[in-house]
């Protein structure tokens, strides 16, 4: 198949990383794949270099810098004159259409609501099927009372949701959509990383009990709640030292680092191209998120593949990860009814249980490793491949 994968950006984020990993895996399975970055200025070159093989060509409006510059200028002029600022998107759609023709694309796989909206009229005009992946944004829109996006969903040939939670919300809200199915996210990790290597790099004691968190550096992921819970938990720590390691970068995280600079047991690593190296050194993964668009976080899957139980908030599709039929792979905490953030006392208690109850910890770690098999990139890509083939067969 000749496939174009379209994204909002090429930076750290669940949908973006999944799109890049999917492109790489589909290429390894013999397909021709190009990747279209709808926001050309939002690109993490180190991340792209790490995730995408040379066979995947990255396209964007940056391919024509001068044309892109003047498109922005005309856009700004439209806005200044009180008109709808649409010129840049029109040029963007024209370039997308040219790319679809040039690379003889058979199917478009889109991974963000903005991307979906840009792609839908272009592929419709060319008779190319569009497969939309819902990474949680549409579910958030529905919860906010929005319905203005439904025509974009109806324009697709199939909708893939990353969790059954998202599938249920969409199907209960709209009854006239194309086929909707769940395909769980997959991740790629490097199994060669070791806990000893990570702890040596961060100068952590070999016997330390390490809580770690990997996420986008936004407040809603629950970074400060993790700190507050860890500091409560530290009042219980006895002989084995405990540390909290944060993997992520942003102005917000820099503010937290400055605020809690006196706590030497909290380590801020920053944004890194290889989070799985650090996850190998965790004992427990954390994600006390209250992000409204949470769907199926890749970070938790990465924890599980590394054999680490997780403590996370019961929102979105997280329970589908941590409460599989085969047995709990972590502990779920609730949102505080007053603050609507993760419950700090409950999080601290969950930390204490893993520290003090080795039988519980070992059982959940084993379950996490077993359950993670359904979240490999190979499994995920095989299901995407099957869905794409079904759509093309119907189109024919």
Same domain, 206 and 125: no
Question: 359 with 328: CB under 8 angstroms?
Answer: no
Picking from 238, 213, 215, the residue whose alpha carbon sits closest to that of residue 352 is 238
Same domain, 364 and 286: yes
Mean pLDDT of 253-271: 96
Domain count within the chain: 2
Q: How many CB atoms lie within 10 A of CB 196?
A: 11
- Give the pLDDT confidence score for residue 119 in this predicted structure: 96
Counting every residue written for the chain, the total comes to: 396
Same domain, 299 and 207: yes
pLDDT band for position 111 (cuts 50, 70, 90):
very high
- Give the pLDDT confidence score for residue 125 in this predicted structure: 94
Q: What share of the chain in percent tops pLDDT 70?
A: 99
Helices 377-395 + 14-28 axis angle, to 10: 80
Picking from 36, 44, 16, 102, the residue whose alpha carbon sits closest to that of residue 271 is 44
Same domain, 173 and 254: no
Same domain, 277 and 339: yes
Which of 44-58, 107-121, 145-159, 209-223 bottoms out in mean pLDDT, i.e. has the lowest?
A: 44-58
Same domain, 136 and 199: no
Mean pLDDT of 131-137: 96
User: Of all helices (H) and strands (E), which one includes residue 346?
Assistant: helix 344-356
Residue 343 has pLDDT above 80, yes or no: yes
Which of the 8 DSSP states describes residue 132? Answer: E
Same domain, 175 and 26: yes
Residue 324 has pLDDT above 80, yes or no: yes
- Give the pLDDT confidence score for residue 79 in this predicted structure: 79
Q: How many CB atoms lie within 10 A of CB 28?
A: 14
What is the CATH classification number for the domain harbouring 273?
Answer: 3.40.50.2000
pLDDT band for position 47 (cuts 50, 70, 90):
confident
- Give the pLDDT confidence score for residue 65 in this predicted structure: 84
Residue 37 has pLDDT above 90, yes or no: yes
Residues 315, 318, 320, 325, Cα dihedral to 10°: -110
Same domain, 344 and 260: yes
Take residue 180 and report the two structure tokens written for it. 């909707």
- Give the pLDDT confidence score for residue 101 in this predicted structure: 97
Residue 23 has pLDDT above 90, yes or no: yes
**Phi, psi (rounded to 5 degrees) for 114:** -60, -45
Task: Identify each DSSP E strand in 257-313 by its residue range.
Answer: 266-270, 284-287, 310-313
Question: 81 with 52: CB under 8 angstroms?
Answer: no
Same domain, 48 and 145: yes
Q: Is the pTM of this model over 0.85?
A: yes
- Give the pLDDT confidence score for residue 337 in this predicted structure: 87
- Give the pLDDT confidence score for residue 109 in this predicted structure: 98
Q: How many CB atoms lie within 10 A of CB 234?
A: 17
Same domain, 343 and 380: no
Q: What is the pLDDT of residues 269-310, one digit of tens each?
A: 998 888 889 999 999 999 999 998 888 898 999 999 999 999
Question: 33 with 56: CB under 8 angstroms?
Answer: yes
Helices 251-259 + 223-233 axis angle, to 10: 20
Same domain, 154 and 79: yes
Q: What is the pLDDT of residues 356-394, one digit of tens each?
A: 999 999 999 999 999 988 888 999 999 999 999 999 998
Give residue 139's domain range.
Answer: 2-186+376-395
Same domain, 169 and 239: no
Residue for token pair 């603050």: 339
């Amino acid at each position: 198949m000749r496939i174009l994968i379209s994204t909002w950006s090429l930076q750290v984020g669940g949908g973006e990383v999944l799109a890049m990993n999917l492109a790489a895996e589909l290429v390894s399975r013999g397909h021709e794949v190009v990747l279209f970055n709808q926001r050309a200025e939002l690109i993490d070159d180190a991340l792209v270099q790490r995730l995408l093989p040379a066979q995947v060509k990255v396209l964007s409006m940056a391919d024509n810098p001068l044309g892109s510059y003047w498109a922005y200028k005309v856009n700004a002029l439209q806005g200044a004159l009180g008109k709808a600022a649409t010129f840049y998107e029109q040029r963007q759609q024209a370039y997308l259409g040219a790319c679809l023709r040039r690379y003889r694309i058979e199917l478009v796989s889109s991974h963000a609501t903005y991307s979906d909206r840009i792609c839908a009229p272009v592929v419709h005009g060319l008779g190319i099927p569009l497969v939309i992946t819902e990474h949680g944004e549409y579910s958030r829109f529905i919860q906010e009372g929005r319905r203005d996006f439904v025509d974009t969903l109806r324009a697709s040939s199939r909708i893939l949701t990353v969790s059954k939670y998202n599938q249920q919300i969409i199907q209960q809200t709209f009854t006239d959509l194309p086929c909707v199915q769940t395909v769980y996210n997959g991740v790629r990790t490097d199994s060669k990383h070791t806990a000893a290597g990570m702890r040596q790099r961060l100068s952590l004691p070999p016997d330390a009990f390490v809580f770690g968190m990997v996420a986008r550096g936004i407040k809603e992921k629950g970074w400060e709640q993790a700190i507050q819970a860890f500091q409560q938990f530290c009042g219980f720590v006895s002989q084995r030292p405990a540390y909290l390691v944060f993997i992520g970068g942003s102005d917000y995280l820099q503010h937290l680092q400055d605020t809690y600079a006196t706590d030497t047991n909290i380590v801020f690593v920053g944004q890194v191209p290889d989070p799985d190296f650090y996850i190998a050194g965790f004992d427990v993964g954390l994600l006390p998120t209250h992000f409204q668009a949470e769907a199926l976080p890749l970070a938790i899957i990465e924890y599980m593949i590394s054999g680490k139980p997780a403590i996370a908030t019961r929102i979105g599709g997280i329970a589908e990860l941590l409460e599989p039929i085969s047995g709990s792979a972590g502990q779920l905490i609730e949102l505080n009814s007053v603050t609507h953030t993760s419950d700090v006392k409950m999080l601290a208690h969950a930390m204490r249980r893993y520290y003090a109850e080795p039988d519980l910890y070992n059982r959940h770690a084993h379950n996490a490793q077993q359950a993670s098999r359904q979240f490999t990139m190979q499994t995920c890509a095989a299901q995407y491949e099957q869905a794409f083939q079904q759509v093309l067969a119907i189109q024919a």
